[in-house]
């Protein structure tokens, strides 16, 4: 079974962690609904829900179960750094269940990086 996953940082095609997802299938470029903000966490971004959000640029990938398990390790879902949840996208993906990684820790003092990492 494959899951659609939205990536917005180092996992994107030109990102330094792209090797973690490179064997999966690229689907399309996409944008979130303007309900998130993205922060620099020191070499990688974290996307959080925000009332004053912006539309975050990223990519949608079709990922198999083994790939999801690897991504969960990278994103430290067991350790509580990120949570994989359904994210709100705009356009053709607005009605499809696309998952993405939301940062769970505090962002106070972190630099807001806008719409694109």
Residues forming the active site: 75
**What does the radius of gyration of the chain's CA atoms come to, in whole angstroms?**
13
Copy the structure tokens of residue 21: 């997802």
DSSP string for residues in 24-88: SEEEEEEEB-S-EEEEE-SSSEEEEE-TT-B--EEEEEEEEHHHHHHHHHHTTTTTTSEEEEEE-
């Amino acid at each position: 079974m494959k899951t659609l996953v939205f990536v917005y940082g180092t996992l994107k095609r030109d990102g330094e962690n792209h090797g973690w997802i490179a064997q999966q299938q690229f689907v399309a470029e996409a944008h979130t609904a303007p309900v998130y903000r993205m922060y620099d966490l020191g070499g990688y971004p974290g996307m959080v829900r925000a009332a004053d959000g912006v539309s975050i640029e990223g990519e949608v990938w079709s990922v198999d179960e083994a790939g999801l398990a690897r991504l969960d390790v990278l994103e430290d879902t067991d350790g509580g750094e990120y949570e994989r949840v359904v994210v709100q996208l705009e356009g053709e993906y607005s009605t499809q269940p696309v998952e993405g990684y939301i940062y769970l820790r505090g962002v106070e003092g972190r630099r807001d990086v806008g719409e694109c990492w």
